[in-house]
Structure 1
Amino acid sequence: MFEPGHVHRAVEKNEFNPQGFTVDVYYDVREDPTEGKMLHMRMEGDIDGRHFADECELYRDVAYDFMRALNQIAVRNGFNPRQGPVLRDHREYDAMYHDIRTKLDLKPGEPINFDHLNF
Structure 2
Amino acid sequence: MATFAPGQLHIERHALTPKDVSYNLKISYEVTQDPKQGKGIQFRMHGSIQDRNVDETFWLPKEDAYNFARNVTQIAERYGIPKELSSIGSQHKHYDLMFEDIRQKLNMQSGDAVDVRHFE
Query: For 1:19-98, what aligned pairs fall within 5 Å after superposition?
Result: 19-98=21-100
Indicate how the Cα distance of structure 1 residues 105 and 71 shifts in structure 2: closer, same or farther if over 3 A, else same: same
| Cα distance between partner residues in 1 of 2:44 and 2:90 | 18
Which stretches in structure 2 are left out of the alignment for 5+ residues?
none
CA shift, 1:84, in A, is 4.3
RMSD: 1.9
**Once the two structures are superposed, what CA deviation does each residue of 1:59-112 show, in whole Å capped at 9, x if it has no partner?**
111111111121112222222221142121111000000000000111112233
Deviations 1:4-38 (A, max 9, x none): 00111110001397111111101000012232211
How many residue pairs match? The answer is: 118
Output the TM-score relative to the length of structure 1: 0.88
Q: Tell me the TM-score normalized by structure 2.
A: 0.88
Of all paired residues, the percent bearing the same amino acid is 31
- The question of whether the paired residues in 2 share the 8 Å contact of 1:55 and 1:73 is answered with no
Between the aligned partners of 1:55 and 1:79, the Cα distance in structure 2 is 18
Runs of 4+ residues over 4 Å off in structure 1: none
Structure 1, unaligned runs of 5 or more: none
